Amino acid sequence: MAAEDLFKNVISHAKEYGFIFPSSEIYDGLSAVYDYAQLGVLLKNNIRQYWWEAMVRLNENIVGLDAAILMHPTTWKASGHVDAFSDPLIDNKDSKKRYRADVLIEDHVAKLEAKIDKEVQKAEKRFGEAFDKEQFMSTNPRVLEVKERSETILKRMARSLEAEDLADVKALIEELEIVCPVSGSKNWTEVKQFNLMFGTRLGASAESAMELYLRPETAQGIFVNFLNVQKTGRMKIPFGIAQTGKAFRNEIVARQFIFRMREFEQMEMQFFIPPGTQKTWYAHWKEARLKWHLSLGLGQDNYRFHDHEKLAHYADAAADIEFKFPFGFKELEGIHSRTDFDLSRHESFSGKKMQYYDAEQEKSYTPYVIETSIGLDRMFLAVFSASLQEEELENGSRTVMRIPSVLAPYKAAILPLVKKDGLPEISKEIVDALKYDFNVIYDEKDAVGRRYRRQDAIGTPFCITVDHQTIEDQTVTLRHRDNMQQERIAIAELGQVLQKEVSLSSWLKKLEA
Ligand code: ATP
């Protein structure tokens, strides 16, 4: 299926099966805002929990926090968001469409890089078995030329953005002859900076009301609480604080479903370390986070690191874990070495000391920070799009969502073969026996084959079918979602099978193994 169709399929499947709806749809929706429906909320909760437990439960030096969305407005001056949290935007005068200037340039580079993929495919065909991709990539003149061109473009863009030279960003767009995807014209406005924070007001009377912002990231709630947590939790450096919660950004271009939303959820962890150790800890968290992703089994080829050329004002190193979404490789998670920027700034803006006394080193210092920051909604999209598969069968085809079983909304569906002869009663006893440990669903409507298909389409790893033999020997048919194989097992064994295959505890053990 073409990438575009695949993405359309993801969006329509999410709606049709009750995962994601547009927000306030009866009023025609609100741009880039979405609601999680009955199955979506289960999948989202499971992703959040898998992240949370991997961070907070498995690391004895990481604790949690749930800070408020509204924060004192000086927070955002100190963090740099009032001055610097903006994107460079550019309008096309003919289509009146607005774009992020950096994204236009990056998309241009992505098209160049797609040419490399084509060259590789051609060469693969030509050389067959003897093809050595690495050698080809490092010696083929056309590939090398495209690679160099891409790098030159990205370096120049990074330099101009860093120096706030927006005229040069526009010049680059013109030199590359980038056209508006809608109007096809090169009739561009100047590039301007646009602040992404949503403003709001606290208090009722006009005079006393305070201008606030909805937080654009959860991280600052962690920084301002650093000393509170460190002292009350008697935490010794190195230690981390993890938090999940809503963040808000008035994104300029927000049209990739839940990839770029105006209201979204982040899962962030700030790890406080002695100055000078940031290289080691940065490498550690890059590796640990990739391991977490790979543990879900969505395929190693779907991930790659992208090390940043252009560093944010607070960072001395930064990398993205990119995921192969239906529209190409894009950022899923960021890992940032933030130095002591945040704590120092809060110290100077609040006048309160943000230092830590290190008993081993017998001195006080402002800790450095390594941050891991992932969008829960982007993670949802990654899991959802990689799991959704159309499979050809001998007698037709099926839609199956191979959601990692620890994340699946329902772990098992309990299906009486027919709606009589006592089969529903036994099925409900099985539901009652399993429901305290696992989220299971009972379904007695339609022929059993159709019920299997429906469970495949929502990613339920197991179907448990109760038939007349069950009355005689207390066994059921256990059907596996991924290979559709069926086996006969005793009702008494169901709990153990589910525990091993789908429980959070066994997945966490695998992650640590
Ligand atoms: P991008 O370059 O895609 O705008 P970013 O670099 O601004 O992302 P960060 O500020 O590093 O993103 O935020 C950390 C994570 O939060 C991102 O890796 C992403 O998963 C998520 N995220 C950021 N903005 C959005 C958004 N508008 N909608 C959904 N998730 C988002």
182-195: per-residue pLDDT in tens? Answer: 999 999 999 999 88
pTM: 0.88
pLDDT at 3 over 80: no
Q: Whose CA is nearest to atom 16 of ligand 1?
A: 375
Ligand 1 atom with the smallest distance to the CA of 375 is 20
Mean pLDDT, the chain, integer: 94
Q: How confident is the model at residue 1 (pLDDT cuts 50, 70, 90)?
A: low
Of 113, 117, 178, 173, whose CA–CA distance to 147 is shortest? 113
- Both tokens of residue 278? 């940031």
Q: Whose CA is nearest to atom 19 of ligand 1?
A: 375
Helical (H) or strand (E) element with 371: strand 368-375
Interatomic CA distance for residues 28 and 21, integer angstroms: 11
Q: Give percent of the chain above pLDDT 70.
A: 100
Q: Give percent of the chain above pLDDT 90.
A: 84
Q: What is the pLDDT of residue 336?
A: 96
DSSP for 162-224?
A: HTT-HHHHHHHHHHTT---TTT----B---EEEE-PPEEEESSSTTT-EEEEB-S-SHHHHHH
Ligand 1 atom with the smallest distance to the CA of 336 is 11
Per residue in 457-479, pLDDT (tens digit) is 999 999 999 999 999 999 999 99
Of 293, 285, 297, 341, whose CA–CA distance to 315 is shortest? 341
Q: Whose CA is nearest to atom 31 of ligand 1?
A: 375
Quote the ligand 1 centre to 470 CA distance (angstroms): 51
The pair phi, psi for residue 179, each rounded to 5°, is: -110, 155
Quote the ligand 1 centre to 200 CA distance (angstroms): 22
Query: What residue has token string 């990481």?
Result: 62
Q: Whose CA is nearest to atom 24 of ligand 1?
A: 260
| Best of 262, 305, 373 for a ligand 1 pocket test (most atoms within 8 Å of beta carbon) | 373
Quote the ligand 1 centre to 376 CA distance (angstroms): 10
Q: Taking a C-beta distance cutoff of 8 angstroms, is the pair 251, 261 a contact?
A: yes
pLDDT at 510 over 90: yes
Q: Which of 62-71, 115-124, 290-299 is least confident?
A: 115-124
Q: Residues 116, 120, 122, 123: is their CA dihedral positive or negative?
A: positive
pLDDT at 42 over 90: yes
What domains sit in the chain, N to C, each tagged with a CATH number? 40-77+196-392 (3.30.930.10), 86-194 (3.30.40.230), 410-512 (3.40.50.800)
Q: Whose CA is nearest to atom 11 of ligand 1?
A: 334
- Return the SS3 of 489: strand
Largest Cα–Cα separation, the chain: 80
Q: Whose CA is nearest to atom 4 of ligand 1?
A: 260
| Best of 246, 265, 303, 331 for a ligand 1 pocket test (most atoms within 8 Å of beta carbon) | 331
Quote the ligand 1 centre to 250 CA distance (angstroms): 12
pLDDT at 342 over 80: yes
Q: What is the pLDDT of residue 323?
A: 98
Q: Whose CA is nearest to atom 13 of ligand 1?
A: 373
Q: Whose CA is nearest to atom 29 of ligand 1?
A: 260
Q: What is the pLDDT of residue 377?
A: 98
DSSP for 44-83?
A: HHHHHHHHHIIIIIT-TTEEE----SB--THHHHHTTHHH
Interatomic CA distance for residues 474 and 361, integer angstroms: 65
> Quick one: DSSP state of residue 390?
E
Q: Whose CA is nearest to atom 22 of ligand 1?
A: 375
Which residues form ligand 1's pocket by a CB distance below 6 Å?
217, 249, 251, 260-261, 264, 266, 331-334, 373-375, 377-378
Quote the ligand 1 centre to 266 CA distance (angstroms): 8
> Quick one: DSSP state of residue 257?
G
Quote the ligand 1 centre to 254 CA distance (angstroms): 12
Residue 405's alpha-carbon distances to 6, 386, 461, 477, in angstroms, are 22, 14, 6, 19
Interatomic CA distance for residues 50 and 66, integer angstroms: 17
The amino acid occupying position 26 is I
Quote the ligand 1 centre to 32 CA distance (angstroms): 14
Quote the ligand 1 centre to 375 CA distance (angstroms): 6
Per residue in 196-238, pLDDT (tens digit) is 999 998 887 777 778 899 999 999 999 999 999 999 999 999 9
Quote the ligand 1 centre to 382 CA distance (angstroms): 14
Q: Whose CA is nearest to atom 21 of ligand 1?
A: 375
Q: Residues 154, 152, 314, 167: is their CA dihedral positive or negative?
A: negative
- Both tokens of residue 447? 């022929």
Ligand 1 atom with the smallest distance to the CA of 330 is 3
Ligand 1 atom with the smallest distance to the CA of 268 is 14
Q: Whose CA is nearest to atom 25 of ligand 1?
A: 260
Quote the ligand 1 centre to 451 CA distance (angstroms): 38
Ligand 1 atom with the smallest distance to the CA of 262 is 27
Quote the ligand 1 centre to 429 CA distance (angstroms): 45
- Return the SS3 of 306: strand
